[in-house]
Amino acid sequence: MEQEKIYQIALSLLPGVGPVTAKNLIAYAGSIEEIFKLTDKALNKIPGIGKQLAINIKNKEVLKRAEAEIRFIEKHKIKLSYFLDKDYPPRLKQCDDAPLIIFQKGPANHNNDKAISIVGTRKATDYGLEMCKTIIKEFTEDGHRPIIISGLAYGIDICAHQAAMDNDLETVAVLGHGLDIIYPAAHKKYAREIARTGGLVSDFPSKSGFDKKHFIKRNRIIAGLSDATLVIESREKGGALITADIAHSYNRDVFAVPGRRVDKSSSGCNQLIRRNIAALVESAADIEYFMGWEKNRKKQSNKQIELFPELTEQEERIVKTIQENEPVEIDVLCQMLKISPGKISPVLLDLEFAGVVKALPGKSYKINTNIFL
């Protein structure tokens, strides 16, 4: 398995090989390992593979670099997801240009039934920051627990992450560099908290360095991980508009908070609305309406779970965590609750026999709603 991961990383490191080319190579060779075993003659016969790319593939240095990356992710307990793996984020997998692999630090569950990215200007006004906090708080007040995705940048991004954590929501920060560094450095303390309860995600290996193109590239992941993208304050040019355009190209919903004509910090949002790329929203209720989210569904569920007074304190913790993150894999559940698989498995089995939870394929669990009918 480790050798397979080395080949996966190596392919992603090859100069001139993007997600589409990588997938074509795999389809032609039959497996990712076979790509590195093809002869020069065989490589040159593959459409779109020139002489230089064939040389890059045969260069053994890329495998050494991949081996070093394996050691790095093992040391720092970073999760590697290959695009054919079951745990690869399902929303991202639907995108044609989804990265071959992604790295993740933290227990974030990408199978959450609601996921929204919130992006905007780095130079946010008090109005923009307040709108960001209010909308996220309103989600929870209406009984929704979406995973909040952003880019850890100054302004709206970090506000979205903080507001999510303040309201006990999972949040994911998508980085434009490897997980060996945090940029900006001032957000290291927030990154640690995000990694503890949510996730830091990147498709860049360690020692990638800083490059403006990297941050533009990471915007497709922010958009791809989400059901919808909300833009709160943006000038006429900027990363937030790029993210919105990418989300639109993925046929994902796009929303924007409008501003006055004289507010330059909202000119980009007004532009998105004017171009019919984004729907105008002023509250969480607007987003919930467009997305078809049933109001108070989770709140009602909370009351129903309380009808089981015979549950032990540990069982109640497990049920509550499953309810808030369903469907949730057992490994993720163990990380969230800090309980070993050996201890949680018999408890889950008891809850399943009692009809409180339901086991799903892939060792995932959800609340058994049939018991309430």
Which position has the higher pLDDT, 18 or 149?
149
Picking from 192, 218, 206, 207, the residue whose alpha carbon sits closest to that of residue 73 is 206
Percent of the chain with pLDDT over 90: 53
Q: How confident is the model at residue 216, as a pLDDT?
A: 83
Q: Do 284 and 307 sit in the same domain of this protein? A: no
For the chain, the domain total comes to: 3
Query: What is the average pLDDT value for the chain, to the nearest integer?
Result: 87
Q: Do 287 and 303 sit in the same domain of this protein? A: no
- C-alpha 46/C-alpha 360 separation (Å) is 41
- The boundaries of the domain holding residue 197 are 115-291
Picking from 65, 100, 95, the residue whose alpha carbon sits closest to that of residue 85 is 100
What integer is the mean pLDDT of 326-330?
Answer: 86
Q: Quick check: is 101 in a domain?
A: no
Q: Quick check: is 184 in a domain?
A: yes
Q: pLDDT per residue over 152-200, tens digit each?
A: 999 999 999 999 999 999 999 999 999 999 999 999 999 999 999 999 9
Contacts of 24-29 with CB under 8 Å at 24 or more apart are 24/48, 25/49
Which of 239, 269, 291 corresponds to the end of one domain?
A: 291
Q: How far is CA 104 from the centre of its chain?
A: 9
Q: Quick check: is 89 in a domain?
A: no
CB-CB contact of 99 with 221 (8 Å):
yes
Q: How confident is the model at residue 295, as a pLDDT?
A: 66
Q: Do 214 and 242 sit in the same domain of this protein? A: yes
Between 33-42, 107-116, 298-307, 343-352, the lowest mean confidence (pLDDT) is in: 298-307
Q: Do 14 and 129 sit in the same domain of this protein? A: no
Q: How far is CA 308 from the centre of its chain?
A: 34
Q: Do 237 and 127 sit in the same domain of this protein? A: yes
- C-alpha 306/C-alpha 356 separation (Å) is 11
Q: Quick check: is 213 in a domain?
A: yes
Which position has the higher pLDDT, 330 or 230?
230
Between 81-90, 137-146, 326-335, the lowest mean confidence (pLDDT) is in: 326-335
Strand order of the β-sheet with 171-174 is 79-82, 101-105, 199-202, 171-174, 147-150, 115-120, 228-232, 253-257, 279-280
Q: Do 263 and 305 sit in the same domain of this protein? A: no
Percent of the chain with pLDDT over 70: 93
Q: pLDDT per residue over 255-312, tens digit each?
A: 999 988 888 889 999 999 999 999 999 999 999 999 998 765 444 444 444 444 467 8
Which position has the higher pLDDT, 332 or 159?
159
Q: Quick check: is 108 in a domain?
A: no
* pLDDT tops 90 at residue 58: no
What is the CATH classification number for the domain harbouring 128? 3.40.50.450
Q: Do 213 and 194 sit in the same domain of this protein? A: yes
Q: Do 171 and 190 sit in the same domain of this protein? A: yes
Q: How confident is the model at residue 1, as a pLDDT?
A: 52
What is the CATH classification number for the domain harbouring 40? 1.10.150.20
What is the CATH classification number for the domain harbouring 330? 1.10.10.10
Q: pLDDT per residue over 40-56, tens digit each?
A: 778 777 776 777 777 88
Q: Quick check: is 324 in a domain?
A: yes
Instruction: Give the dihedral sign, CA 77/81/82/86.
Output: positive
Quickly tell me which residue has 């507001």 as its tokens.
163
To the question of pTM greater than 0.95 for the whole model, the response is no
What integer is the mean pLDDT of 54-76?
Answer: 89
- C-alpha 239/C-alpha 65 separation (Å) is 30
Q: How confident is the model at residue 296, as a pLDDT?
A: 54
* pLDDT tops 50 at residue 60: yes
* pLDDT tops 70 at residue 331: yes
Q: Quick check: is 92 in a domain?
A: no
Q: Do 285 and 308 sit in the same domain of this protein? A: no
